């Protein structure tokens, strides 16, 4: 049987040989350290043998992640005690993870079809991010106030669900949603008006392009003075931030129709409104969704940052700024995780909606 | 985003006046008028309250001017903001803590440092993604996902954490700018480095060009237009990052700290002046990028646009 070497496995093998001198990696971990070395060696050999690719991926995944799991397990009771051996072992398992991702994303091997690969590979990458974060922070004994390990953040999330729910309700369900809908809606309507009256478009487009470069978030203190501490002021900031992206994109989309389609509409004797509804708005859908996606991110940023300027005692931005002051970094990270989750779901939901409603559009045809 | 071409094509010399100046001017005029009306309506209730307590009954004209000259108005009048801007830009020394030039300078320096780091990081990531398939599959989705996370929310934490280990000043703020600006550069450069057509890449391989040669002679020149489009977005994002980064530093210096101080002490005129200063800085930075774009395009033999 021929061996097919790869650089990740060879580097991992070199590390493994070195590691023989460092057992145990942490005090009192001789058995688990040996087990880790065995798992790493199995994964190295499997990655170089030329047999079934599926089996190789399976062995790599199980042995590599088994080793990582054991490594994380070694940390309990040994925080800050991990030495060179521990981190070398971590590097070896990480190299194997890298190898796994390389094999999975190799188009010639093609173990899964591309859409499943598109989910699995980033997931493995994300998992490794968490593993490395956990292992380095706890292994090297990084102070809690600097960077809490993901496990502590997870515990904190589980312990403070009611607070997170209240903050979510205040910031997302009130400020973000209202501002997003009102701002995008106003931008959309203005774009339709500007399309009808070219003078308006000529006046608004340069201003819109200019405003896109301005730090609009700076109006937050003014909005707080005008509309008070509650969520109205945050929604106002969100409206201001989402209006122009929607206006500029919708207008560009509406005007993106070709001369041929317009001629067709004219032969149908369609009036402006009919042409708008039957031809130009459907054609503008990808542009509109692009603006909605941009706005979903802007709305979250706008609402959270505006809360730094004054809020009632609830809200994601409020929680972040106060808990930072009290050095409760795990709570801050819990809020960030919540914001990340909401932001991703928001964006993902819009992307799904786009797939469902604009699948027929020429830009999606293969 | 280019303005859609006007098909009428009136080839008169004053098309700039009719296509740009008049429409934009009228909208700006409407906004200014709206500002004036708002100044009166928003300041009137407080002024009326004030007058009632003082027991004075001014004429309508006097009352109107009173709403235009409050020291801490809900809505500052245009001339108040203009006066404040003039005073803090030209009348005080640029090095004094009152000067908007001083604060703008602080903000610009961290913006530029962060922009530089973000651009380098973004280009590096893009080069990695274009050349390593595993990075393309595993890393690119996370870069895109990272932008659905409101990164500005992390800003105060980064500042406080770095301050606690003794790193203060320019660098933490620049780090936030880096975070915001690397993304447009990375995504734009991935597109740009992949923009050469198959035919061009095939030509390179018939020349037996190495990956490095293909990069320097084909991919990099092809990506220049994409580069400038994305750094234009990045520099604006950097400025936002720098301003937000200045919020939690306890109002030391910079446009962000001016905003925060103004909001603490309800110095509305100061807030507006700082906002306008920030906008001027933004326009300045974007214009700089445009000028650089023009120079590089001409230098590469392209037609300046």
Among A109-118, B40-49, B63-72, B198-207, where is mean pLDDT lowest?
A: A109-118
Among A126-130, A139-143, A188-192, B65-69, where is mean pLDDT lowest?
A: A139-143
Question: Which residues of chain B make contact with A324, given a CB cutoff of 8 A?
Answer: 156-157, 160, 248
Residue A45 structural domain: 2-142
Q: In chain A, which among 304-363 make CB contacts under 8 A with chain B? A: 304-305, 308-310, 316-317, 320-321, 324-325, 329, 332, 335-336, 339-340, 343-344, 346-348
Distance CA A112, CA A120 (A): 9
Structure tokens at A320: 């972040």
Residue A92 lies in a domain: yes
Indicate the SS3 state at residue B152.
Answer: helix
DSSP character string of A306-348: HGGG--SS-SHHHHHHHHHHTT-HHHHHHHHHHHHHHHHHHHH
Q: What is the mean pLDDT of chain A?
A: 84
Taking residues A350-364, report their average pLDDT: 83
Question: Which residues of chain A make contact with B239, given a CB cutoff of 8 A?
Answer: 215
pLDDT at B249: 57
CATH number assigned to the domain comprising residue A297: 1.10.3720.10
Structure tokens at B207: 């020349």
User: Do A81 and A124 sit in the same domain of this protein?
Assistant: yes
Nearest CA in chain B to A245: B1
Residue A352 lies in a domain: yes
B303: confidence class by pLDDT, cuts 50, 70, 90: low
Is residue B10 pLDDT above 70, yes or no?
no
pLDDT at A324: 78
A365: confidence class by pLDDT, cuts 50, 70, 90: low
- DSSP, res A26: S
Is residue B230 pLDDT above 60, yes or no?
yes
User: Do A131 and A188 sit in the same domain of this protein?
Assistant: no
User: Do A71 and A133 sit in the same domain of this protein?
Assistant: yes
Residue A163 lies in a domain: yes
Q: How far is B258 from chain A (nearest CA, A)?
A: 10
User: Do A232 and A266 sit in the same domain of this protein?
Assistant: yes
Contact criterion met (CB < 8 Å) for B137 and A325: no
User: Do A193 and A86 sit in the same domain of this protein?
Assistant: no
Residue A337 lies in a domain: yes
Distance CA B186, CA B124 (A): 8
pLDDT at B292: 92
- Pick from B288, B267, B271, B294: nearest CA to B111: B288
Count of A–B CB contacts within 8 Å?
Answer: 176
Q: Judging by beta carbons within 10 Å of its beta carbon (0-12, 13-18, 19+), is residue B203 exposed, middle or buried?
A: middle
Q: Are A143 and A329 in contact (CB under 8 A)?
A: no
pLDDT at A177: 93
Taking residues B252-278, report their average pLDDT: 84
pLDDT at B133: 78
Contact criterion met (CB < 8 Å) for A320 and B153: yes
User: Do A240 and A317 sit in the same domain of this protein?
Assistant: yes
Is residue B242 pLDDT above 90, yes or no?
no
- Pick from B191, B184, B239: nearest CA to B219: B191
Question: Which residues of chain B make contact with A110, given a CB cutoff of 8 A?
Answer: none
Q: In chain A, which among 196-225 make CB contacts under 8 A with chain B? A: 198-207, 209-210, 212-215, 217-222, 224-225
Phi, psi of A146 (to 5 degrees): -80, -55
B1: confidence class by pLDDT, cuts 50, 70, 90: very low
Handedness of CA A57, A60, A63, A66 (dihedral sign): negative
Taking residues B50-68, report their average pLDDT: 83
pLDDT at A355: 86
Distance CA B295, CA B299 (A): 6
Residue A252 lies in a domain: yes
- Pick from A150, A134, A101, A179: nearest CA to A340: A150
Is residue A212 pLDDT above 60, yes or no?
yes
A95: confidence class by pLDDT, cuts 50, 70, 90: confident
Is residue B259 pLDDT above 50, yes or no?
yes
- Pick from B296, B230, B32, B237: nearest CA to B114: B237
Structure tokens at B135: 């990075």
Q: In chain A, which among 167-196 make CB contacts under 8 A with chain B? A: none
pLDDT at B3: 42
Q: In chain A, which among 14-33 make CB contacts under 8 A with chain B? A: none
Domain count, chain A: 2
Structure tokens at A228: 């008070």
Contact criterion met (CB < 8 Å) for A344 and B259: no
User: Do A136 and A166 sit in the same domain of this protein?
Assistant: no
Asked if residue A24 has a cis previous peptide bond (ω within 30° of 0), the answer is yes
* pLDDT tens digits, one per residue of A121-177: 888 888 888 888 888 888 777 777 778 888 888 998 998 899 899 888 888 888 899
Taking residues A288-307, report their average pLDDT: 88
B81: confidence class by pLDDT, cuts 50, 70, 90: confident
Q: Judging by beta carbons within 10 Å of its beta carbon (0-12, 13-18, 19+), is residue A317 exposed, middle or buried?
A: buried
Distance CA A317, CA A286 (A): 32
- Pick from A54, A211, A65, A77: nearest CA to A141: A77
Q: Which residue is listed with tokens 């960030």?
A: A336
Taking residues B210-238, report their average pLDDT: 89
Contact criterion met (CB < 8 Å) for A203 and B283: no
Contact criterion met (CB < 8 Å) for A98 and B134: yes
pLDDT at A182: 95
Residue A147 lies in a domain: no
Q: Structure pTM?
A: 0.82
| Residue to test with chain B: of A95, A117, A203, A292, most B Cβ within 10 A | A203
User: Do A220 and A336 sit in the same domain of this protein?
Assistant: yes
Q: How far is B158 from chain A (nearest CA, A)?
A: 9
| Residue to test with chain A: of B134, B144, B231, B280, most A Cβ within 10 A | B134
Q: Who among B20, B259, B274 is closest to A206 (CB)?
A: B20
How far does chain A reach from its first CA to its final CA, in angstroms? Answer: 43
Q: Which residue is listed with tokens 């502590």?
A: A152
pLDDT at B9: 44
pLDDT at A2: 60
User: Do A106 and A215 sit in the same domain of this protein?
Assistant: no
Question: Which of A142, A174, A204 delimits the end of a domain?
Answer: A142
- Pick from B122, B117, B185, B114: nearest CA to B152: B114
pLDDT at A268: 92
Question: Which residues of chain B make contact with A95, given a CB cutoff of 8 A?
Answer: none
User: Do A358 and A217 sit in the same domain of this protein?
Assistant: yes
* pLDDT tens digits, one per residue of A233-282: 899 999 999 999 999 899 988 888 888 888 999 999 998 889 888 888 88
How far does chain B reach from its first CA to its final CA, in angstroms? Answer: 14
User: Do A134 and A164 sit in the same domain of this protein?
Assistant: no
Is the confidence metric ipTM above 0.85 for this complex? Answer: no
- Pick from B69, B248, B269, B245: nearest CA to A222: B269
Q: Who among B24, B272, B282 is closest to A207 (CB)?
A: B24
Q: How far is B277 from chain A (nearest CA, A)?
A: 10
* pLDDT tens digits, one per residue of A32-91: 778 888 888 888 887 777 677 777 788 888 888 888 888 777 777 777 777 777 788 888
Is residue B163 pLDDT above 60, yes or no?
yes
Distance CA A319, CA A315 (A): 6
Is residue A109 pLDDT above 50, yes or no?
yes
Q: Are B159 and B248 in contact (CB under 8 A)?
A: yes
Residue A243 lies in a domain: yes
Residue A151 lies in a domain: no
Taking residues B194-219, report their average pLDDT: 90
Q: How far is A183 from chain B (nearest CA, A)?
A: 18
User: Do A168 and A131 sit in the same domain of this protein?
Assistant: no
Q: How far is A212 from chain B (nearest CA, A)?
A: 8
Q: Who among B20, B139, B279 is closest to A125 (CB)?
A: B139
Taking residues B292-299, report their average pLDDT: 89
């Amino acid at each position: 049987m021929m061996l097919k070497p790869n650089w990740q496995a060879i580097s991992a093998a070199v590390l493994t040989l070195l590691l023989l001198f460092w057992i145990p990696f942490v005090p009192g971990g001789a058995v688990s350290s040996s087990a880790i070395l065995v798992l790493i060696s199995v994964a190295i050999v499997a990655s170089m043998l030329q047999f079934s690719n599926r089996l190789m991926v399976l062995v790599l995944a199980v042995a590599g992640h088994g080793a990582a799991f054991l490594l994380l397990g070694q940390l309990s009771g040994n925080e800050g005690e991990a030495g060179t051996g521990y981190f070398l072992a971590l590097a070896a398992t990480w190299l194997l993870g890298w190898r796994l991702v390389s094999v999975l994303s190799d188009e010639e091997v093609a173990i899964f079809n591309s859409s499943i690969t598109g989910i699995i590979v980033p997931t493995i990458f994300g998992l490794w991010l968490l593993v490395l974060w956990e292992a380095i922070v706890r292994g090297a004994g990084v102070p809690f106030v600097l960077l809490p390990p993901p496990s502590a953040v997870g515990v904190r999330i589980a312990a403070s669900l009611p607070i997170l729910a209240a903050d979510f309700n205040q910031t997302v369900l009130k400020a973000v949603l209202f501002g997003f809908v009102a701002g995008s809606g106003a931008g959309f309507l203005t774009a339709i008006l500007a399309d009808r009256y070219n003078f308006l478009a000529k006046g608004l487009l340069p201003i819109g392009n200019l405003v896109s470069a301005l730090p609009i978030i700076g109006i937050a203190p003014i909005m707080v003075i005008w509309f008070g501490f509650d969520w109205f002021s945050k929604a106002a900031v969100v409206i201001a931030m989402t209006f122009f992206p929607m206006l500029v994109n919708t207008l560009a989309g509406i005007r993106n129709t070709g001369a041929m389609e317009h001629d067709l509409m004219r032969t149908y004797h369609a009036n402006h409104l009919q042409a708008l509804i039957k031809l130009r708005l459907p054609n503008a859908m990808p542009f509109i969704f692009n603006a909605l996606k941009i706005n979903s991110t802007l709305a979250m940023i706008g609402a959270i940052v505006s809360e730094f300027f004054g809020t009632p005692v609830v809200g994601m931005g409020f929680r972040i700024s106060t808990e930072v002051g009290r050095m409760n970094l795990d709570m801050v990270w819990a809020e960030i995780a919540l914001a990340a989750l909401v932001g991703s779901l928001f964006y993902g939901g819009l992307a799904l909606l786009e797939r469902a409603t604009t699948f027929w559009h020429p830009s999606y045809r293969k | 985003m280019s303005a859609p071409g006007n098909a009428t094509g009136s080839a008169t010399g004053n098309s700039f006046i009719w296509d740009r100046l008049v429409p934009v001017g009228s909208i700006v005029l409407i906004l200014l008028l709206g500002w004036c009306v708002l100044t009166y309506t928003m300041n009137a209730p407080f002024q009326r309250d004030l007058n009632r307590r003082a027991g004075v009954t001014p004429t309508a004209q006097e009352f109107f001017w009173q709403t235009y000259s409050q020291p801490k108005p809900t809505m500052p009048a245009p001339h108040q903001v203009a006066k404040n801007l003039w005073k803090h830009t030209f009348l005080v020394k640029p090095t004094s803590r009152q000067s908007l030039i001083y604060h703008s300078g602080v903000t610009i320096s961290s913006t530029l440092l962060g922009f530089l780091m973000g651009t380098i990081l973004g280009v590096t990531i893009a080069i990695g993604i274009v050349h390593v398939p595993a990075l393309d599959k595993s890393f690119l989705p996370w870069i895109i996902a990272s932008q659905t996370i409101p990164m500005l929310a992390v800003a105060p934490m980064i500042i406080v954490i770095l301050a606690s280990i003794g790193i203060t000043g320019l660098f933490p703020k620049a780090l936030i700018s880096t975070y915001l600006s690397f993304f447009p550069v990375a995504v734009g450069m991935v597109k740009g480095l992949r923009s050469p057509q198959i035919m061009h890449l095939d030509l390179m391989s018939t020349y037996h060009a190495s990956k490095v040669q293909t990069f320097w002679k084909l991919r990099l020149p092809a990506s220049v237009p994409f580069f400038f489009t994305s750094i234009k977005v990045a520099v604006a994002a950097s400025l936002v990052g720098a301003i937000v980064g200045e919020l939690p530093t306890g109002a030391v210096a910079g446009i962000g700290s001016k905003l925060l101080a103004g909001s603490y002490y309800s110095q509305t005129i100061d807030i507006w002046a700082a906002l306008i200063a920030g906008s001027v800085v933004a326009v300045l930075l974007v214009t700089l990028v445009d000028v650089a774009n023009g120079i590089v395009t001409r230098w590469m033999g392209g037609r300046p646009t």
